[in-house]
Amino acid sequence: MKKAVILFSGGLDSTTCLALAKHEGFECHALSFNYGQKHSTELHAAKKIATKFNANHTIINMPIWQLCESALTNANISIPDYDNKNEIPITYVPARNTIFLSLALSLAESIKSDDIFIGVSAVDYSGYPDCRPEYINAFQKLANLATKIGTEENNIKIHAPLINLSKAETIQLGLKLGVNYADTVSCYRANTKGYACGKCDSCILRKKGFNEAKVMDNTFYY
Amino acid sequence: MKKAVILFSGGLDSTTCLALAKHEGFECHALSFNYGQKHSTELHAAKKIATKFNANHTIINMPIWQLCESALTNANISIPDYDNKNEIPITYVPARNTIFLSLALSLAESIKSDDIFIGVSAVDYSGYPDCRPEYINAFQKLANLATKIGTEENNIKIHAPLINLSKAETIQLGLKLGVNYADTVSCYRANTKGYACGKCDSCILRKKGFNEAKVMDNTFYY
Protein backbone atom coordinates (compact mmCIF):
# COMPACT_ATOMS: atom_id res chain seq x y z
CA MET A 1 0.00 0.00 0.00
CA LYS A 2 1.49 3.33 -1.07
CA LYS A 3 1.96 5.90 1.68
CA ALA A 4 1.03 9.57 1.51
CA VAL A 5 1.73 12.49 3.83
CA ILE A 6 -1.21 14.88 4.14
CA LEU A 7 -0.77 18.40 5.49
CA PHE A 8 -3.76 18.47 7.74
CA SER A 9 -5.10 21.41 9.72
CA GLY A 10 -8.50 19.92 10.49
CA GLY A 11 -10.15 22.50 8.20
CA LEU A 12 -12.48 22.06 5.24
CA ASP A 13 -9.80 21.86 2.53
CA SER A 14 -7.26 19.58 4.20
CA THR A 15 -10.02 17.23 5.38
CA THR A 16 -11.21 16.93 1.78
CA CYS A 17 -7.61 16.16 0.79
CA LEU A 18 -7.35 13.47 3.42
CA ALA A 19 -10.61 11.89 2.24
CA LEU A 20 -9.36 11.99 -1.35
CA ALA A 21 -5.98 10.43 -0.55
CA LYS A 22 -7.79 7.68 1.37
CA HIS A 23 -10.16 7.19 -1.57
CA GLU A 24 -7.17 6.90 -3.93
CA GLY A 25 -5.88 4.00 -1.84
CA PHE A 26 -3.04 5.63 0.06
CA GLU A 27 -2.02 4.71 3.59
CA CYS A 28 -2.46 8.18 5.06
CA HIS A 29 -0.04 9.96 7.40
CA ALA A 30 -1.66 13.22 8.47
CA LEU A 31 0.61 15.96 9.78
CA SER A 32 -0.60 18.92 11.86
CA PHE A 33 1.24 21.80 13.48
CA ASN A 34 0.84 23.67 16.70
CA TYR A 35 2.51 26.87 15.50
CA GLY A 36 1.04 29.36 17.91
CA GLN A 37 -2.16 29.84 15.88
CA LYS A 38 -4.96 31.49 17.88
CA HIS A 39 -7.40 28.90 16.54
CA SER A 40 -5.41 25.93 17.85
CA THR A 41 -8.76 24.33 18.59
CA GLU A 42 -8.48 23.14 14.96
CA LEU A 43 -6.04 20.53 16.28
CA HIS A 44 -8.79 18.85 18.31
CA ALA A 45 -10.88 18.69 15.15
CA ALA A 46 -7.86 17.29 13.27
CA LYS A 47 -7.37 14.53 15.83
CA LYS A 48 -11.02 13.53 15.71
CA ILE A 49 -11.18 13.50 11.89
CA ALA A 50 -7.89 11.58 11.53
CA THR A 51 -9.30 8.89 13.82
CA LYS A 52 -12.51 8.70 11.75
CA PHE A 53 -10.46 8.23 8.58
CA ASN A 54 -8.18 5.72 10.26
CA ALA A 55 -5.11 7.82 9.41
CA ASN A 56 -1.82 8.03 11.28
CA HIS A 57 -1.66 11.48 12.84
CA THR A 58 1.28 13.50 14.14
CA ILE A 59 1.11 16.96 15.71
CA ILE A 60 4.39 18.87 15.75
CA ASN A 61 5.13 21.89 17.94
CA MET A 62 6.56 24.54 15.67
CA PRO A 63 7.21 27.93 17.27
CA ILE A 64 6.83 29.94 14.05
CA TRP A 65 5.34 32.71 16.18
CA GLN A 66 8.86 33.38 17.49
CA LEU A 67 9.99 34.32 13.99
CA CYS A 68 7.22 36.32 12.45
CA GLU A 69 4.34 38.70 12.86
CA SER A 70 0.88 37.65 11.80
CA ALA A 71 -2.64 38.30 13.00
CA LEU A 72 -2.98 34.51 13.23
CA THR A 73 -0.25 34.18 15.85
CA ASN A 74 0.28 37.56 17.50
CA ALA A 75 -1.97 38.55 20.42
CA ASN A 76 -1.40 42.24 19.68
CA ILE A 77 -2.80 42.04 16.13
CA SER A 78 -6.54 41.47 15.84
CA ILE A 79 -7.94 39.13 13.21
CA PRO A 80 -10.06 41.36 10.97
CA ASP A 81 -13.51 40.71 9.56
CA TYR A 82 -13.55 39.80 5.88
CA ASP A 83 -13.00 42.64 3.49
CA ASN A 84 -12.95 42.49 -0.25
CA LYS A 85 -9.57 44.14 -0.78
CA ASN A 86 -7.38 42.60 -3.40
CA GLU A 87 -4.22 42.34 -1.31
CA ILE A 88 -2.46 39.85 0.96
CA PRO A 89 -4.20 40.13 4.35
CA ILE A 90 -2.58 40.46 7.79
CA THR A 91 -3.49 36.88 8.58
CA TYR A 92 -0.69 35.90 6.20
CA VAL A 93 2.01 33.88 8.00
CA PRO A 94 5.33 34.40 6.20
CA ALA A 95 6.51 31.23 4.45
CA ARG A 96 4.01 29.05 6.28
CA ASN A 97 3.32 26.59 3.48
CA THR A 98 7.04 26.35 2.72
CA ILE A 99 7.74 25.44 6.35
CA PHE A 100 4.87 22.94 6.43
CA LEU A 101 5.80 21.34 3.10
CA SER A 102 9.44 21.06 4.22
CA LEU A 103 8.43 19.15 7.33
CA ALA A 104 6.06 16.98 5.28
CA LEU A 105 8.98 16.26 2.95
CA SER A 106 11.13 15.18 5.88
CA LEU A 107 8.41 12.80 7.09
CA ALA A 108 7.76 11.54 3.53
CA GLU A 109 11.39 10.69 2.98
CA SER A 110 11.58 8.97 6.36
CA ILE A 111 8.60 6.71 5.76
CA LYS A 112 9.55 6.16 2.09
CA SER A 113 6.60 8.03 0.65
CA ASP A 114 6.72 9.89 -2.67
CA ASP A 115 3.35 11.58 -2.23
CA ILE A 116 2.52 14.75 -0.31
CA PHE A 117 -0.98 16.25 -0.31
CA ILE A 118 -1.71 19.90 0.40
CA GLY A 119 -5.19 21.45 0.31
CA VAL A 120 -4.37 24.81 -1.23
CA SER A 121 -6.72 26.47 -3.69
CA ALA A 122 -6.04 29.39 -6.00
CA VAL A 123 -9.73 30.03 -6.64
CA ASP A 124 -11.59 30.90 -3.43
CA TYR A 125 -8.63 31.85 -1.27
CA SER A 126 -7.16 34.67 0.78
CA GLY A 127 -4.55 35.70 -1.78
CA TYR A 128 -1.58 34.11 -0.03
CA PRO A 129 1.32 33.73 -2.52
CA ASP A 130 2.12 30.20 -1.36
CA CYS A 131 -1.23 28.84 -2.62
CA ARG A 132 -0.58 29.35 -6.35
CA PRO A 133 0.17 26.61 -8.92
CA GLU A 134 3.58 28.10 -9.80
CA TYR A 135 4.54 27.91 -6.13
CA ILE A 136 3.48 24.25 -5.84
CA ASN A 137 5.41 23.36 -9.02
CA ALA A 138 8.53 25.10 -7.68
CA PHE A 139 8.27 23.20 -4.42
CA GLN A 140 7.97 19.88 -6.23
CA LYS A 141 11.10 20.66 -8.22
CA LEU A 142 12.91 21.61 -5.02
CA ALA A 143 11.74 18.45 -3.22
CA ASN A 144 13.30 16.25 -5.87
CA LEU A 145 16.61 18.10 -5.62
CA ALA A 146 16.58 18.28 -1.83
CA THR A 147 16.28 14.65 -0.89
CA LYS A 148 18.00 11.32 -1.24
CA ILE A 149 14.86 9.65 -2.55
CA GLY A 150 14.11 12.53 -4.96
CA THR A 151 17.66 12.68 -6.27
CA GLU A 152 17.68 8.95 -6.97
CA GLU A 153 14.26 8.58 -8.53
CA ASN A 154 12.85 12.08 -9.14
CA ASN A 155 9.46 10.74 -8.09
CA ILE A 156 8.28 13.07 -5.35
CA LYS A 157 4.91 14.50 -6.20
CA ILE A 158 3.18 17.40 -4.48
CA HIS A 159 -0.54 16.78 -4.90
CA ALA A 160 -2.69 19.90 -4.72
CA PRO A 161 -5.99 18.41 -5.89
CA LEU A 162 -8.09 21.42 -4.88
CA ILE A 163 -5.92 24.05 -6.55
CA ASN A 164 -8.36 24.69 -9.40
CA LEU A 165 -11.55 24.00 -7.45
CA SER A 166 -13.89 26.62 -6.06
CA LYS A 167 -14.89 26.18 -2.43
CA ALA A 168 -18.27 24.90 -3.64
CA GLU A 169 -16.61 22.25 -5.82
CA THR A 170 -14.38 21.20 -2.92
CA ILE A 171 -17.44 20.78 -0.70
CA GLN A 172 -19.24 18.73 -3.34
CA LEU A 173 -16.18 16.51 -3.71
CA GLY A 174 -15.82 16.03 0.05
CA LEU A 175 -19.47 15.16 0.53
CA LYS A 176 -19.17 12.41 -2.09
CA LEU A 177 -16.17 11.07 -0.19
CA GLY A 178 -18.02 10.94 3.13
CA VAL A 179 -16.71 14.10 4.84
CA ASN A 180 -18.91 15.55 7.58
CA TYR A 181 -17.98 19.23 7.44
CA ALA A 182 -19.45 19.84 10.87
CA ASP A 183 -16.34 18.07 12.19
CA THR A 184 -13.99 20.56 10.50
CA VAL A 185 -12.77 23.91 11.85
CA SER A 186 -11.81 26.68 9.40
CA CYS A 187 -12.46 29.82 11.43
CA TYR A 188 -9.47 32.00 12.41
CA ARG A 189 -11.38 33.00 15.55
CA ALA A 190 -12.81 29.58 16.43
CA ASN A 191 -13.62 29.26 20.13
CA THR A 192 -12.44 26.41 22.33
CA LYS A 193 -15.41 24.29 21.26
CA GLY A 194 -14.47 24.82 17.59
CA TYR A 195 -17.47 27.10 16.95
CA ALA A 196 -16.94 29.68 14.19
CA CYS A 197 -17.27 33.48 14.15
CA GLY A 198 -18.89 33.61 10.71
CA LYS A 199 -17.15 36.89 9.84
CA CYS A 200 -13.44 36.33 9.18
CA ASP A 201 -11.96 35.66 5.71
CA SER A 202 -11.98 31.96 6.27
CA CYS A 203 -15.61 31.85 7.45
CA ILE A 204 -16.88 34.04 4.60
CA LEU A 205 -15.16 31.88 1.94
CA ARG A 206 -16.57 28.76 3.60
CA LYS A 207 -20.10 30.17 3.82
CA LYS A 208 -19.94 31.23 0.17
CA GLY A 209 -18.90 27.66 -0.68
CA PHE A 210 -21.89 26.06 1.02
CA ASN A 211 -24.14 28.65 -0.53
CA GLU A 212 -22.85 28.13 -4.08
CA ALA A 213 -22.84 24.35 -3.65
CA LYS A 214 -26.49 24.60 -2.56
CA VAL A 215 -25.72 22.44 0.45
CA MET A 216 -26.78 23.04 4.04
CA ASP A 217 -24.01 24.69 6.04
CA ASN A 218 -23.82 22.57 9.21
CA THR A 219 -20.95 24.61 10.70
CA PHE A 220 -21.46 25.55 14.35
CA TYR A 221 -21.40 29.34 14.75
CA TYR A 222 -21.19 31.20 18.07
CA MET B 1 21.74 49.10 7.09
CA LYS B 2 20.60 46.05 5.12
CA LYS B 3 19.59 43.04 7.16
CA ALA B 4 20.61 39.44 6.55
CA VAL B 5 19.46 36.17 8.09
CA ILE B 6 22.30 33.70 8.62
CA LEU B 7 21.64 30.00 9.17
CA PHE B 8 24.03 29.47 11.99
CA SER B 9 24.97 26.18 13.65
CA GLY B 10 28.08 27.44 15.43
CA GLY B 11 30.26 25.29 13.17
CA LEU B 12 33.18 26.21 10.93
CA ASP B 13 31.19 26.95 7.77
CA SER B 14 28.29 28.95 9.20
CA THR B 15 30.65 30.99 11.37
CA THR B 16 32.62 31.92 8.26
CA CYS B 17 29.32 32.91 6.63
CA LEU B 18 28.41 35.10 9.59
CA ALA B 19 31.82 36.79 9.48
CA LEU B 20 31.42 37.36 5.75
CA ALA B 21 27.91 38.83 6.03
CA LYS B 22 29.19 41.14 8.76
CA HIS B 23 32.15 42.12 6.59
CA GLU B 24 29.77 42.89 3.71
CA GLY B 25 27.98 45.38 5.93
CA PHE B 26 24.81 43.50 6.82
CA GLU B 27 22.99 43.78 10.12
CA CYS B 28 23.16 40.09 11.01
CA HIS B 29 20.31 37.96 12.36
CA ALA B 30 21.73 34.53 13.17
CA LEU B 31 19.27 31.64 13.41
CA SER B 32 20.04 28.34 15.13
CA PHE B 33 17.95 25.24 15.75
CA ASN B 34 17.64 22.81 18.58
CA TYR B 35 16.36 19.91 16.47
CA GLY B 36 17.30 16.99 18.66
CA GLN B 37 20.89 16.83 17.36
CA LYS B 38 23.20 14.80 19.61
CA HIS B 39 25.82 17.55 19.33
CA SER B 40 23.51 20.25 20.68
CA THR B 41 26.57 21.62 22.45
CA GLU B 42 27.10 23.45 19.13
CA LEU B 43 24.37 25.83 20.30
CA HIS B 44 26.55 27.06 23.18
CA ALA B 45 29.30 27.76 20.66
CA ALA B 46 26.75 29.53 18.43
CA LYS B 47 25.63 31.78 21.27
CA LYS B 48 29.20 32.72 22.17
CA ILE B 49 30.20 33.44 18.56
CA ALA B 50 27.05 35.46 17.80
CA THR B 51 27.84 37.66 20.81
CA LYS B 52 31.43 38.16 19.59
CA PHE B 53 30.16 39.24 16.17
CA ASN B 54 27.49 41.44 17.72
CA ALA B 55 24.75 39.60 15.82
CA ASN B 56 21.13 39.12 16.83
CA HIS B 57 20.68 35.45 17.67
CA THR B 58 17.57 33.28 17.88
CA ILE B 59 17.47 29.61 18.79
CA ILE B 60 14.30 27.77 17.74
CA ASN B 61 13.15 24.43 19.12
CA MET B 62 12.34 22.25 16.13
CA PRO B 63 11.42 18.64 16.89
CA ILE B 64 12.55 17.25 13.53
CA TRP B 65 13.60 14.11 15.40
CA GLN B 66 9.87 13.29 15.73
CA LEU B 67 9.59 13.03 11.96
CA CYS B 68 12.69 11.28 10.74
CA GLU B 69 15.44 8.80 11.38
CA SER B 70 19.04 9.95 11.32
CA ALA B 71 22.20 9.02 13.16
CA LEU B 72 22.40 12.70 14.15
CA THR B 73 19.14 12.60 16.10
CA ASN B 74 18.33 8.99 16.94
CA ALA B 75 19.86 7.45 20.06
CA ASN B 76 19.57 3.96 18.55
CA ILE B 77 21.73 4.78 15.51
CA SER B 78 25.44 5.33 16.18
CA ILE B 79 27.34 8.07 14.42
CA PRO B 80 29.96 6.26 12.35
CA ASP B 81 33.62 7.07 11.90
CA TYR B 82 34.49 8.64 8.56
CA ASP B 83 34.58 6.30 5.62
CA ASN B 84 35.37 7.14 2.07
CA LYS B 85 32.22 5.67 0.49
CA ASN B 86 30.65 7.71 -2.24
CA GLU B 87 27.09 7.64 -0.90
CA ILE B 88 24.81 9.69 1.32
CA PRO B 89 25.73 8.77 4.91
CA ILE B 90 23.38 7.85 7.77
CA THR B 91 24.02 11.22 9.39
CA TYR B 92 21.78 12.67 6.64
CA VAL B 93 18.71 14.38 8.13
CA PRO B 94 15.89 14.26 5.55
CA ALA B 95 15.07 17.72 4.19
CA ARG B 96 17.04 19.50 6.91
CA ASN B 97 18.30 22.40 4.83
CA THR B 98 14.84 22.86 3.31
CA ILE B 99 13.32 23.11 6.78
CA PHE B 100 16.04 25.48 7.98
CA LEU B 101 15.86 27.69 4.86
CA SER B 102 12.06 27.84 5.16
CA LEU B 103 12.29 29.13 8.70
CA ALA B 104 15.01 31.57 7.67
CA LEU B 105 12.69 32.77 4.91
CA SER B 106 9.90 33.35 7.41
CA LEU B 107 12.23 35.40 9.62
CA ALA B 108 13.65 37.27 6.62
CA GLU B 109 10.21 38.29 5.40
CA SER B 110 9.22 39.36 8.91
CA ILE B 111 12.21 41.64 9.43
CA LYS B 112 12.11 42.86 5.80
CA SER B 113 15.35 41.24 4.75
CA ASP B 114 16.04 40.01 1.22
CA ASP B 115 19.24 38.19 2.09
CA ILE B 116 19.68 34.72 3.55
CA PHE B 117 23.12 33.17 4.07
CA ILE B 118 23.75 29.43 4.26
CA GLY B 119 27.19 27.86 4.67
CA VAL B 120 26.83 24.85 2.40
CA SER B 121 29.72 23.62 0.28
CA ALA B 122 29.63 21.18 -2.61
CA VAL B 123 33.39 20.61 -2.49
CA ASP B 124 34.50 19.12 0.84
CA TYR B 125 31.14 17.86 2.07
CA SER B 126 29.30 14.74 3.16
CA GLY B 127 27.36 14.24 -0.07
CA TYR B 128 24.04 15.54 1.21
CA PRO B 129 21.78 16.44 -1.76
CA ASP B 130 20.66 19.72 -0.17
CA CYS B 131 24.16 21.21 -0.36
CA ARG B 132 24.40 21.39 -4.17
CA PRO B 133 24.20 24.57 -6.31
CA GLU B 134 21.11 23.35 -8.20
CA TYR B 135 19.33 22.88 -4.88
CA ILE B 136 20.21 26.40 -3.70
CA ASN B 137 19.05 27.88 -7.01
CA ALA B 138 15.75 25.99 -6.77
CA PHE B 139 15.21 27.28 -3.23
CA GLN B 140 15.85 30.86 -4.29
CA LYS B 141 13.27 30.51 -7.05
CA LEU B 142 10.80 29.04 -4.57
CA ALA B 143 11.45 31.79 -2.03
CA ASN B 144 10.49 34.47 -4.50
CA LEU B 145 7.25 32.67 -5.36
CA ALA B 146 6.43 31.81 -1.74
CA THR B 147 6.43 35.21 -0.11
CA LYS B 148 4.76 38.58 -0.25
CA ILE B 149 8.09 40.40 -0.47
CA GLY B 150 9.42 37.98 -3.12
CA THR B 151 6.28 38.14 -5.22
CA GLU B 152 6.33 41.93 -5.23
CA GLU B 153 10.01 42.51 -5.88
CA ASN B 154 11.59 39.15 -6.75
CA ASN B 155 14.61 40.21 -4.75
CA ILE B 156 15.19 37.40 -2.29
CA LYS B 157 18.69 36.07 -2.59
CA ILE B 158 20.04 32.88 -1.07
CA HIS B 159 23.75 33.49 -0.51
CA ALA B 160 25.87 30.34 -0.43
CA PRO B 161 29.31 31.96 -0.53
CA LEU B 162 31.19 28.78 0.37
CA ILE B 163 29.53 26.54 -2.19
CA ASN B 164 32.56 26.38 -4.49
CA LEU B 165 35.21 26.63 -1.78
CA SER B 166 37.23 23.78 -0.39
CA LYS B 167 37.36 23.53 3.40
CA ALA B 168 40.91 24.93 3.24
CA GLU B 169 39.72 27.97 1.26
CA THR B 170 36.87 28.52 3.71
CA ILE B 171 39.32 28.47 6.60
CA GLN B 172 41.64 30.92 4.87
CA LEU B 173 38.69 33.23 4.22
CA GLY B 174 37.48 33.04 7.82
CA LEU B 175 40.91 33.74 9.27
CA LYS B 176 41.15 36.92 7.18
CA LEU B 177 37.75 37.93 8.57
CA GLY B 178 38.79 37.41 12.19
CA VAL B 179 37.22 34.03 12.95
CA ASN B 180 38.76 32.06 15.81
CA TYR B 181 37.96 28.49 14.79
CA ALA B 182 38.63 27.24 18.32
CA ASP B 183 35.26 28.80 19.18
CA THR B 184 33.42 26.70 16.57
CA VAL B 185 31.99 23.19 16.98
CA SER B 186 31.69 20.93 13.91
CA CYS B 187 31.93 17.45 15.44
CA TYR B 188 28.85 15.19 15.29
CA ARG B 189 30.02 13.61 18.54
CA ALA B 190 31.13 16.77 20.34
CA ASN B 191 31.06 16.40 24.12
CA THR B 192 29.34 18.83 26.48
CA LYS B 193 32.44 21.05 26.51
CA GLY B 194 32.37 21.22 22.70
CA TYR B 195 35.49 19.03 22.35
CA ALA B 196 35.65 17.01 19.12
CA CYS B 197 36.08 13.26 18.46
CA GLY B 198 38.44 13.74 15.52
CA LYS B 199 37.01 10.71 13.70
CA CYS B 200 33.54 11.45 12.31
CA ASP B 201 32.88 12.78 8.78
CA SER B 202 32.69 16.31 9.99
CA CYS B 203 35.95 16.13 11.98
CA ILE B 204 37.88 14.49 9.14
CA LEU B 205 36.77 17.11 6.61
CA ARG B 206 37.68 19.85 9.06
CA LYS B 207 41.11 18.37 9.83
CA LYS B 208 41.80 17.98 6.12
CA GLY B 209 40.90 21.65 5.70
CA PHE B 210 43.39 22.88 8.30
CA ASN B 211 46.00 20.57 6.87
CA GLU B 212 45.56 21.76 3.28
CA ALA B 213 45.34 25.39 4.36
CA LYS B 214 48.65 24.89 6.19
CA VAL B 215 47.16 26.47 9.29
CA MET B 216 47.40 25.20 12.85
CA ASP B 217 44.28 23.27 13.85
CA ASN B 218 43.33 24.79 17.21
CA THR B 219 40.24 22.56 17.61
CA PHE B 220 39.92 20.96 21.03
CA TYR B 221 39.84 17.16 20.74
CA TYR B 222 38.94 14.73 23.53
Averaged pLDDT, B183-187:
96
Chain A residues lying within 8 Å of B67, measured CB to CB? 58, 60, 103, 106-107, 110
Residue A75 has pLDDT above 90, yes or no: no
Q: Which pLDDT band holds residue A82 (cuts at 50, 70, 90)?
A: confident
Nearest C-alpha in B relative to A139: B142
Summarize the confidence of residues B139-165 as an average pLDDT.
Answer: 90
Q: Give the C-alpha separation, B106 to B112, whole Å.
A: 10
Please, which pLDDT band fits residue B195 given cuts at 50, 70 and 90? Answer: very high
Give the minimum alpha-carbon distance from A62 to chain B in angstroms, rounded to a whole number.
Answer: 6
Task: Label residue B38 by pLDDT band (50, 70, 90).
Answer: confident
Question: From the DSSP assignment, how many helices (H) and strands (E) are in chain A?
Answer: 7, 5
Report the distance separating Cα A122 and Cα A125, nearest Å. Answer: 6
Residue A10: alpha-carbon gap to chain centroid: 7
**Min Cα separation B2/chain A (Å):** 18
Cα nearest neighbour of B93 on chain A: A106
**Looking at residue A198, what is its pLDDT?**
96
Tell me, what's the pLDDT at A199?
Answer: 95
Nearest to B213 by CA among B28, B16, B3: B16
The closest of B80, B117, B96 to B36, measured between CA atoms, is: B96
Range of weakest confidence among A29-33, A119-123, B51-55, B102-106: A119-123
Q: Report, as an integer, the average pLDDT of B72-80.
A: 85
Separation of alpha carbons A17 and B160, rounded Å: 36
pLDDT exceeds 80 at position A125: no
Task: Give the CA distances from residue B95 to residues A161, B28, B101, in Å, rounded to whole numbers and listed in that order.
Answer: 23, 25, 10
pLDDT value of residue B154:
74
Greater confidence (B75 vs B137) lies with B137
Query: Is it the case that residue A87 has pLDDT exceeding 80?
Result: no
Phi, psi angle pair for B134, to nearest 5°: -65, -30
* Least confident segment among A195-204, B119-128, B199-208: B119-128
Residue A134 has pLDDT above 90, yes or no: yes
pLDDT band at B87 (very low <50, low <70, confident <90, very high): confident
pTM: 0.94
- Residue with the bigger pLDDT between A210 and B76: it is A210
Kindly give, in sequence order, each residue whose CB lies less than 8 Å from that of residue B108, ignoring residues fewer than 6 positions away: B3, B5, B114, B115, B116, B149, B156
Closest-CA distance of chain A to residue B214, Å: 34
Q: Which residues of A touch B61 (CB under 8 A)?
A: 61, 63
Q: In A, which residues are within 8 Å of B72 by CB distance?
A: none
Q: Quick check: B37 pLDDT over 80? A: yes
Mean model confidence pLDDT for chain B: 92
- What pLDDT score was predicted for residue B54? 97
Tell me which of B110 and B85 has the higher pLDDT. Answer: B110
Cα atoms in the 13 Å half-sphere on the side-chain side of A28: 28
B109: distance to nearest CA of chain A, Å?
6
Answer yes or no: is the ipTM higher than 0.90.
yes
Q: What per-residue confidence (pLDDT) applies to B151?
A: 74
At A188 the pLDDT is: 92
Which range, of A59-63, B91-95, B176-180, averages the lowest pLDDT? B91-95
B175 at the A interface (CB within 8 A)?
no
b/e map A58-92, b = 16+ CB within 10 Å: bbbebebbbbbbbbbbbeeeebeebeeeeeebebb
Q: Of all residues in chain B, what percent carry a pLDDT higher than 90?
A: 74
- The residue among A118, A105, A112, A135 whose CA lies nearest residue B130 is A105
Residue B199 has pLDDT above 90, yes or no: yes
pLDDT tens for each residue of B161-182: 999 999 999 999 999 999 999 9
Q: How many CB pairs under 8 A join A and B?
A: 139
Is B132 touching A (CB cutoff 8 A)? Answer: yes
Phi, psi of A12 (to 5 degrees): -60, -45
Residue B149 has pLDDT above 80, yes or no: no
Report how far residue B17's alpha carbon sits from residue B5's, in angstroms, rounded to the nearest whole number.
10
The verdict on a CB contact (< 8 Å) between B94 and A148 is yes
pLDDT per position as a tens digit, A139-156: 999 999 998 877 777 799
| Ordered domains of chain A (ranges, CATH) | 3-213 (3.40.50.620)
Nearest Cα neighbor of A197 from A84, A81, A45, A93 is: A81
Is residue B44 less than 8 Å (CB to CB) from chain A?
no
pLDDT digits (tens, 9 = 90+) for B54-66: 999 999 998 888 8
Whether A65 shows a pLDDT value over 90: the answer reads no
- Kindly list the residues from chain A whose CB atom is less than 8 angstroms away from the CB atom of residue B151: 129
State whether A95 and B146 contact (CB < 8 Å).
Answer: yes
Residues of A in contact with B92 (CB under 8 A): 148
